[in-house]
A and B are shown apart, each in its own frame.
Chain A
């Protein structure tokens, strides 16, 4: 491949191959992962989303649940450059009697400038630090009609109740970006534990566990999700319902992983190093934690990475059907519910914005998982 005209790359390449034997495995993995540009990009995208999630209360200009009948189905505010920088013109609401639809007209005489670091509703940053400063917000100019309803900035428009969609997407990320994660975590813990013991101890325990797995797998996924979600008590605090749904996801998803882990452990159990450890007098616990689990870990991580987007989509679907997260809490699935009727989606297209965001996140997780899958086997 290399010719005399390009001696440098050849040298470089030789150097890289040379140190393969000296680098720890994780460094090889990182090196391999960096090669798949798309996955690296996906990683940055996800980091961005999670940073936004942690700062969501700071970034959202308004609380997610404040109703405002004066702004029902407001289109995204048109931002204009005015004398005091960026801002929006005042908006008046009128009912179109023929179409029975709210219409909004702008009034260029009143200019509301957008200010950074304005005071707004109180919240706790990272759930701890009490604050009331938000990244941006509208300032009411002196010439505004004091009788008029408070003008608000709708970056992404408003929903039927006049709630700011941008603030709702921000708030919804707190549930949508964590629920799938925790659900998969539960599945991974159960799956690894059960799969390892099943494969390592074998015999009657293995038989029993495999029958159980078979039984759980006899239920088709989605109908079982729906039945369990419908069985959850509806009148519990948000946090509790959140945990129950993660539990449902975890309890259904562990079976596939446990099967795969079992298969791997079965292969490792007969290997020379396990026999050596046994001959040296190592306990079962030692062999499981020091030899079995680390060996299956890379595989588990790959499966988990690819399960997260599926779990996020499951949450969205459940919430969308009214069986997942319930109002007044907000998740992306719940936001899609507003856009679910064709009339709403066509008349108020900005309600489809959460669809795009959800799509980007799920796509990024899938791409990341694909890169990680290639990376955990750095010698290939």
Chain B
């Protein structure tokens, strides 16, 4: 097992290295840089800018360096934990990322938990009551949930919420709580601002997972060991939850690996609509403004989350299923 994890970790670092090169290359592809924007800003504020000043700025940010020099500057600093200074705000990138990443991860994990708590029982019910009216109703909502793009659902919920009650728009906290220490009231205020994002993330991923759970369980319910379990007089609940569900839960476990990074990155659109300061909109802004160091760091970070998520999923799978462990 240790051997296996070690091999996976080595593989992961090789992939991450390649991802960082390719990702950085894609991100610096568009012509121009945020420096052009900055120079224009400075010109607008202070009138004429000397060519020497512009040259000095260009040298400072290294925008004229060849690709691999830029890449090396960026990656060597990143590996030392120095995420650089954002072109756009002159703020340390690290602080901005950690603040937002923490919130994004908290919201995504919450959505993930809700997803599992809802989709497993519903999937089981739907499979054990196949072709009944509740199953059809569940199926209908599943298709609706799969079909509706997350950001549209967010928009519709937001419209509905503002019509029905006083839904706060934008930001994570009301002004009076921004600098306040954490308290129950602040937590409630936080959820008032962010419930839509959690609901949307949970609804869209629940729909898919319920469908998968139903399909798998249906396959397993036909197998002979389930018949055996029934025929030796076990209670139906035991048959389903102890014998059938345990063997049909693999894809849900595998899903952790894909879902977590998908949720964290997927909030880009939703958070844009809700004007929430999470990591997604930050990535978008960085891309739009050609803030290559920030965008590159975020892209690699998303990939790292995906790979770590996959690793965790495999380990959990080995823990759940002894057959995987033996291989």
Contacts and interface: CB of A to CB of B under 8 A. Distances in A.
B143 interface: yes
B26 A352 contact: no
B147 A226 contact: no
Contacts of B265: 220-223
B154 to A, nearest CB: 10
Nearest to A309: B147
B302 A220 contact: yes
Contacts of B283: 223, 226
A66 interface: no
Nearest to A349: B159
A359 B159 contact: no
Interface centre among A222, A309, A313, A322 (most CB of B within 10 A): A222
Interface string A226-257: 11101101000000000000000000000000
Nearest to B11: A214
A84 interface: no
B156 interface: yes
A329 interface: no
A345 B305 CA distance: 35
Interface stretch (A45-53, A141-149, A335-343): A335-343
A362 B149 contact: yes
Contact of B27 (A227, A323, A336): A227
Contacts of B169: 342
Given A214-B15, A218-B15, A340-B155, A363 B269 contact: no
A221 B264 CA distance: 12
Contacts of B27: 227, 230-231
A8 B294 CA distance: 72
B288 interface: yes
B262 A358 contact: no
A218 B272 contact: no
A184 interface: no
B18 interface: yes
A49 to B, nearest CB: 14
Given A218-B303, A231-B30, A316-B149, A226 B156 contact: no
A10 B199 CA distance: 50
A70 to B, nearest CB: 27
Given A317-B269, A320-B269, A363 B143 contact: yes
A346 B143 CA distance: 27
Nearest to A333: B149
Interface in B236-286: 261-262, 265-266, 268-269, 272-273, 283-284
Size category of the B interface is 35 or more
B148 interface: yes
Interface in B266-319: 266, 268-269, 272-273, 283-284, 287-288, 295, 298-299, 302-303, 305-307
Nearest to B15: A218
B47 to A, nearest CB: 29
Interface in A178-227: 214-215, 218-224, 226-227
Interface string A306-336: 0001000100110011110000000000001
B114 to A, nearest CB: 21
A219 B146 contact: no
Given A340-B155, A340-B273, A230 B30 contact: yes
Dominant SS among interface residues on chain B: helix
A339 B30 CA distance: 29
B204 to A, nearest CB: 11
A221 B284 CA distance: 14
B294 to A, nearest CB: 12
B151 interface: yes
A366 B147 contact: yes
A79 to B, nearest CB: 26
Contact of A220 (B147, B156, B261): B261
Given A355-B155, A358-B149, A321 B29 contact: no
Contacts of A230: 27, 30, 287-288
Counting chain B CB atoms within 10 Å of each CB, the highest count among A226, A323, A336 belongs to: A226
B26 A220 contact: no
B15 A215 contact: yes
Interface string A260-278: 0000000000000000000
Contact of B269 (A218, A233, A321): A321
Contacts of B152: 336, 355, 358-359
A362 to B, nearest CB: 4
B162 interface: yes
Interface in B123-149: 143-144, 146-149
Nearest to A219: B303
B19 A367 contact: no
User: What are the nearest 3 A-B pairs in CB distance?
Assistant: A231-B29, A363-B147, A230-B287
5 contacts: A221-B265, A227-B23, A231-B29, A320-B151, A323-B288
Interface of B: 15-16, 18-19, 22-23, 26-27, 29-30, 143-144, 146-149, 151-152, 155-156, 158-159, 162-163, 169, 261-262, 265-266, 268-269, 272-273, 283-284, 287-288, 295, 298-299, 302-303, 305-307
Given A218-B19, A224-B26, A342-B158, 11 more contacts: A219-B299, A222-B262, A227-B299, A230-B287, A316-B149, A321-B284, A336-B155, A342-B159, A349-B159, A355-B155, A359-B148
